Amino acid sequence: MTKSYLAVAVALAACFAPLANATVIVGATGLATYDQFVSFSTPAVATGGIVTNQFAAQGLTFAALSGGAVRMNSCGPGGRTGQPGFAGNYLNTYGAGCSTNTVDDSFSMMFASDVSAASFSFRSHSGIVGNSIAAYNNGVMVEQYNFLAANQVSQIMTFSNLVFDEIRFTEKASGGNFYELDSVAFVNANAVPEPASLALFGLGLAGLAGLRRKQA
């Protein structure tokens, strides 16, 4: 009887295992496969221009969180090709000129629909207070990565094995903090459970029902 209960518990747990293994990785590579890739090459946005919904057709929109802004190529296009994953156009959170400003330019990158994984090339510059990047779903934080103070990181970040619709880039202007962002790739979340997962879940429920009948 104990073995039967254990088998059913394992089957049920397997259905929901992907959500329990949410990960955030910072490294030299991002997603190998994806549904959409945004390089910010088109449509054209003026150098230093504020970015909001210009890339909505590609599944991304941007919004300021603290009154600042995310801008296009404030230091000119192609100026960051030495950083992993950067090529041509990129977004940044310093002012219209190629220098940091004194405004909190924290911003949100929102997906048109739920995604299950996303990667992006970034540069994070933290002064007195460390920056942070977090994934949200329906306004609730589901995963977060915190940077050390007085630190600069140029890498590729990947969120995976969770469902989210937004990534928030938080900075503090008091330390001259800023971000640069390029090459966003993401995987659309599967709104309908996969057949294999449904079958496994059904087997688990059937097992529980069988055990109840035996006990009756």
pLDDT attached to residue 67: 80
Q: For residue 155, which of 82, 88, 99, 89 has the smallest C-alpha distance?
A: 82
Q: Measured between alpha carbons, how far is 113 from 132 in angstroms, rounded to an integer?
A: 23
Q: Are 154 and 175 in contact (CB under 8 A)?
A: no
- Rounded to whole angstroms, the Cα distance separating 203 from 188 reads 27
pLDDT-based confidence at residue 102 (cuts at 50, 70, 90): confident
Residue 115 confidence class, pLDDT cut points 50, 70, 90? very high
Predicted structure pTM score: 0.80
Which ranges constitute the DSSP H helices of the chain? Answer: 2-20, 195-215
Residue for token digits 């003026």? 46
Give the whole-number percent of the chain exceeding pLDDT 70: 79
The domain that holds 81 is classified in CATH as: 2.60.120
**Residue linked to tokens 């619709």:** 165
How many residues in total does the chain contain?
216
State how far the Cα of 105 lies from the Cα of 173, in Å rounded to an integer.
7
| Residue 176 in domain | yes
4 occurs within a structural domain: no
Tokens of 185: 């790739």
81 has a pLDDT exceeding 50: yes
Is the predicted pLDDT of residue 112 greater than 70, yes or no?
yes
Q: Which amino acid is at 203?
A: L
pLDDT value of residue 189? 98
Full domain range(s) for residue 182? 21-190
| Residue 7, CA atoms < 13 Å, CB-side half-sphere | 10
pLDDT band at 198 (very low <50, low <70, confident <90, very high): very low
39 burial via Cβ count (<10 Å: 0-12, 13-18, 19+): middle
Q: For the chain, how many structural domains are there in total?
A: 1
For the chain, the straight-line distance linking the first and the last C-alpha, in angstroms and rounded, comes to 14
The answer to the question of residue 14 being in a domain is no
The two tokens of residue 37 are 């890739």
Q: Is residue 179 part of a domain?
A: yes
